[in-house]
Amino acid sequence: MVKETAIDYRLTMKEMPIDSRPREKLLEQGAERLSDAELLAIILVSGSRKDTALDLANLLLTDCGGLKGILEQGVEELTRLPGIGQAKACQIKAALELAKRIVAWRKNALPIIKSPLDVSTLVMEEMRFLDREYFKAIFLDTKNHVLAIENISIGSLNASIVHPREVFKSAIRRSSAAVILVHNHPSGDPSPSNEDINVTKRLQEAGDILGISVLDHIIIGDSRFVSIKEKGLI
């Protein structure tokens, strides 16, 4: 009787569809669209004789109980896992240490918003001379530290362009506790229009549903600004 030989049907990384390869996916869709395993696979660079880098990343996450578990492992502990040598363990620890330092830096460097004047100080020089209306969202944590400032739309301000989906998609992704809306008036006059007020109320209602507070809407003019909240319009 001829003994059957086991066939390994697993694909190598090169044999996988292009949109399933972590590096190609990062280039096409951005790093934020990758899973923890895919990001880890890029850091690992290569796999082992038995596993691709992606397989190895998944095994590592499973064995350690996720990224937090990996962070708690030392180099020696990581090298005990199949397919992880000293070089790969050092790559992982270096990448995670950089991430820790970035988080620490952001906590110390990011401004805190305490008033509409703080918002104006943050964006006035950038926005006062813009020749089109830019609608931005400032995302805040629970202590009103600025997590990020993003452009939501460029052009005329109306309900169809400034959609709650675009504002709160980013807010959810960044785990924001609150949002401050900001847009400029190219005329230089920051007086709010009826459309400004209506858009603010619409976004505030959407935020209430999601549990993300819309704290204010600041309109930037030429060296002047108006807080819709301070005006008592929301």
pLDDT digits (tens, 9 = 90+) for 76-108: 988 888 888 999 999 999 988 888 887 777 666
Per-residue pLDDT tens digits for 109-138: 678 999 999 999 999 988 988 888 999 999
pLDDT category at 18 given cuts 50, 70, 90 is low
- Report the predicted TM-score, pTM, of the whole model to 2 decimal places: 0.55
The pLDDT assigned to 196 comes to 92
Specify the DSSP element, H or E, that contains 202.
Answer: helix 194-210
Coil/strand/helix, residue 75? helix
Per-residue pLDDT tens digits for 179-230: 999 999 999 999 999 999 999 999 999 999 999 999 999 999 988 999 999 9
pLDDT category at 7 given cuts 50, 70, 90 is very low
Say whether pLDDT at 14 is over 80.
Answer: no
pLDDT category at 156 given cuts 50, 70, 90 is low
CATH of domain 18-108: 1.10.150.20
Calpha distance 229→218 (Å, rounded): 8
The domain spans of the chain are 18-108, 116-227
The pLDDT assigned to 17 comes to 54
The pLDDT assigned to 5 comes to 42
Calpha distance 197→205 (Å, rounded): 12
Write down the mean pLDDT value for the chain: 85
Alpha-carbon separation of residue 4 from 7, 11, 14, 50, 54 (angstroms): 9, 21, 27, 20, 29
Residue bearing tokens 């972590």: 22
Calpha distance 107→161 (Å, rounded): 33
The pLDDT assigned to 106 comes to 62
* Helix, strand, coil share of the chain (percent; to 5): 45, 15, 40
Say whether pLDDT at 15 is over 70.
Answer: no
Mutual angle of helices 36-44 and 86-109, in 10-degree steps:
120
Per-residue pLDDT tens digits for 34-68: 898 999 999 898 888 888 889 889 988 998 888 88
Task: Select from 1.10.443.10, 3.40.630.10, 3.40.50.2000, 3.40.140.10 the CATH code of 116-227.
Answer: 3.40.140.10
Say whether pLDDT at 165 is over 70.
Answer: yes
